[in-house]
Amino acid sequence: MSLDITSLVKKYDTPLYLYDFNNITKRYEELKDAFSGKKSLVAYAVKSNSNLAVIRHLANLGAGADCVSIGEVRRALKAGVKKYHIIFSGVGKRDSEIREALKEDILLINLESEAEMKRVEMIAAELGKEARISIRVNPNVDPKTHPYISTGLHENKFGVSIDTAKRMYIYAKKSDHLNPVGIHFHIGSQLTELSPITEACGIVADLVRSLDAIGIEIKFFDIGGGLGVIYDDEKTIVPADYAKAIISQIKGLDITIVSEPGRYMMANSGIFLTSVLYEKQNGDKRFVIVDGAMNDLLRPSLYNAYHKIEAVQKEGQKTPADVVGPVCESGDFLGKNVELPPLDHHDILVVHSAGAYGFTMSSNYNTRGRAAEVAILDGKDYLIRARETFEDQVRLEESCDTSWQV
Ligand code: LLP
């Protein structure tokens, strides 16, 4: 996006998240088009960026929502996602969450264990309902991504083995309160190679065929999320190839392909803006200290993730610097050895590819208020989340029992 960053920062201050809604549209349409000719649903992974405006924008385009808590389900409903486009996944769900999801009559509750299936069955029986379910299968495929975001191996906590899944489907089919209509897998995030996706699809499609042979008809083939994006110079998968690989594995099946992209929609639709506070030199080491920190954007600290960082309208000889925040942790950095020109107080740095798992993973650590969020649509800017104040942060403490105080 070509933006007047300086005036946006004057208007909204920093730290600030900025999202390009036109790019979100483009990304959604690219993916939807890739599956054209097939029944498909793009269920946006709300966890990647759960701002109501983002979800609403995608809902208006026709997207569904992949949610991992009842909070996310509520966000999706509030943002106008159709009930029959909402999926509730996650490795552990409280009874109250299951109950609410059943009452809302969303498309699917995704099960991750036999124990969970029994809970859902019991609660559905209490409510006199039949729960539409899918089962998350763990195909034991190495996704070749960062171990923290790899989820499709047996050593990961997610899903159930093929054999367990089969047993669960047979049980569910006989139950008066379960309706097994979906199958789900998600082998990992930031996938940049097609072969693990093809392999996992093949394994799961074979299970669908064997279920069909015993009279269990699966209608939704949920391939999860995971489509990688470019942060630096990595090669990624283009949506057309992604779709082709999936479609090649489900030949002969009359099934709706559900995808759950998060990062693909949002990572490169967002940037994070932070202001320089000062520079300092510790021995040979140059530090640029900024007003954004690990509490705003955790990915560099948590995964050693790379985000390209650039100075706005600043010339001069570039030298390497660590870009660090004010949080009291050595791990508080946004970038290491970033080539930057000499910087002054109030200069602005752009941290790229920050639209996914940026704001949603932010916290109040060090009693820092969370950043504001702004959307850019057709060249106009809209505040979509106000900057969090100190009062916002202490409200829930101040409203508590204070009778212990003398
Ligand atoms: N569906 C399921 C079941 C998932 O677990 C995830 C992500 C997605 C969809 C969306 O995946 P995506 O399309 O965004 O790759 N915080 C990490 C990413 C964690 C992803 C967890 N699951 C990061 O910042 O890289």
Q: Rounded to whole angstroms, how far apart are CA atoms 45 and 260?
A: 5
Ligand 1 center to residue 222 CA distance, Å?
14
Beta bridge partners of 51: none
Percent of the chain scoring above 70 in pLDDT: 96
Could you tell me the distance, in angstroms and rounded to a whole number, from the CA of residue 188 to the centre of ligand 1? 7
Structure token digits, residue 283: 């021995």
Can 400 be counted among the known catalytic residues?
Answer: no
Cβ(5)–Cβ(348) below 8 Å: yes
* pLDDT single digits (tens) 83-126: 999 999 999 999 999 999 999 999 999 999 999 999 999 999 99
Q: How far is the CA of 315 from the centre of ligand 1 (A)?
A: 37
| Residue 330 near residue 296 (C-beta atoms within 8 A) | no
145 — pLDDT class (breaks 50, 70, 90):
low
Q: How far is CA 204 from CA 31, 37, 223, 400, in A?
A: 21, 21, 9, 50
The DSSP 8-state label assigned to residue 386 in this structure reads P
197 within 8 A of 187, measured Cβ to Cβ: yes
What residue's CA is closest to ligand 1, atom 24?
A: 357
Instruction: Give the pLDDT confidence of 188-233 residue by residue, as tens digits.
Output: 999 999 999 999 999 999 999 999 999 999 999 999 999 999 999 9
19-65 pLDDT, tens digit per residue, is 999 999 999 999 999 999 999 999 999 999 999 999 999 999 999 99
Please choose, from the candidates 352, 329, 350, 373, the residue with its C-alpha nearest in 3D space to the C-alpha of residue 276: 350
Residue nearest atom 22 in ligand 1 by C-alpha distance: 189
Residue 188: count other Cβ atoms within 10 Å of its Cβ.
27
φ, ψ of residue 379 in degrees (nearest 5)? 80, -5
Ligand 1, pocket residues at CB < 6 Å? 45, 48, 66, 89, 149, 186, 189-190, 224-227, 260-264, 299, 356-357
> How confident is the model at residue 147, as a pLDDT?
64
Gap between the Cα atoms of 32 and 238, Å rounded:
13
Residue-wise over 320-339: b if at least 16 C-beta within 10 A, else e? ebbbbbebeeeebbbbeebe
pLDDT band at 3 (very low <50, low <70, confident <90, very high): confident
Please count the residues of the chain: 406
Q: Residue 97 in 3-state DSSP?
A: helix
Q: What pLDDT is stored for residue 305 in this prediction?
A: 97
Q: Which atom of ligand 1 is nearest to the CA of 361?
A: 16
Nearest CA to ligand 1 atom 5: 186
Residue 154: pLDDT band with limits 50, 70, 90 = low
- Predicted local confidence at residue 288, as pLDDT: 98
CA–CA separation, 233 vs 130, rounded Å? 48
Structure tokens belonging to residue 280: 């300092």
What is the model's pLDDT at position 158?
A: 81
Map residue 134 onto helix, strand or coil.
strand
pLDDT 10s digits, 33-43: 999 999 999 99
Query: Whose CA is closest to 320, among 348, 343, 292, 347?
Result: 343
The confidence score (pLDDT) of residue 199 equals 95
- The residue type of 113 is S
Check pLDDT > 80 for residue 9.
Answer: yes
Host H or E run for residue 58: helix 52-61
Q: What is the pTM of this model?
A: 0.96
Per-residue model confidence (pLDDT) at position 149? 60
Q: Give the pLDDT of residue 157.
A: 73
Å from CA of 127 to ligand 1 middle: 32
Q: Domain locations in the chain?
A: 5-16+268-389, 35-261
Homologous superfamily in CATH for domain 35-261: Alanine racemase (3.20.20.10)
Residue 150 clears pLDDT 70, i.e. is over it: no
What pLDDT is stored for residue 128 in this prediction?
98
pLDDT in tens, 294-305: 999 999 999 999
Phi then psi dihedrals of residue 271, to 5 deg: -130, 160
What's residue 151's pLDDT? Answer: 63
The pLDDT assigned to 1 comes to: 53
Centroid of ligand 1 to alpha carbon of 189 (angstroms): 5
Q: What is the Cα–Cα distance from 386 to 91, expressed in whole angstroms?
A: 32
Instruction: Read off the pLDDT of residues 229-261 as tens digits, 9 standing for 90 and up.
Output: 999 999 999 999 999 999 999 999 999 999 999
In the set 67, 201, 328, 400, the catalytic residue is 328
Which atom in ligand 1 lies closest to the alpha carbon of residue 228?
Answer: 15
Query: Cα angle vertex 90, ends 104, 112, to 5°?
Result: 105
Bridge-partner residues for 178, per DSSP? Answer: 131
Q: Closest ligand 1 atom to the C-alpha of 261? A: 13
Residue type, 237: I
Q: What is the mean pLDDT of the chain?
A: 95
The reported pLDDT for the residue numbered 269 is 98
**Do residues 244 and 259 touch, judged by C-beta distance below 8 A?**
no
Contact 185, 199 (CB under 8 A): no
Model confidence over 127-144: pLDDT tens digits? 999 999 999 999 988 877
Q: What is the pLDDT of residue 152?
A: 58
Cα–Cα–Cα angle for 27, 273, 361, nearest 5°? 70
Per-residue pLDDT band for 153 (boundaries 50, 70, 90) equals low
Report which protein residue has its CA nearest ligand 1's atom 9: 225
Q: Whose CA is nearest to atom 19 of ligand 1?
A: 149
Q: What is the tens place of the pLDDT at every residue in 263-289? A: 999 999 999 999 999 999 999 999 999
Residue 2 has pLDDT above 70, yes or no: no
Domain boundaries 5-16+268-389, corresponding CATH code: 2.40.37.10
Ligand 1 center–CA 262 separation, angstroms: 6
- β-pair type (348-351, 309-311): antiparallel
DSSP 8-state symbol, 237? -
Segment (H or E) for 42: strand 40-45
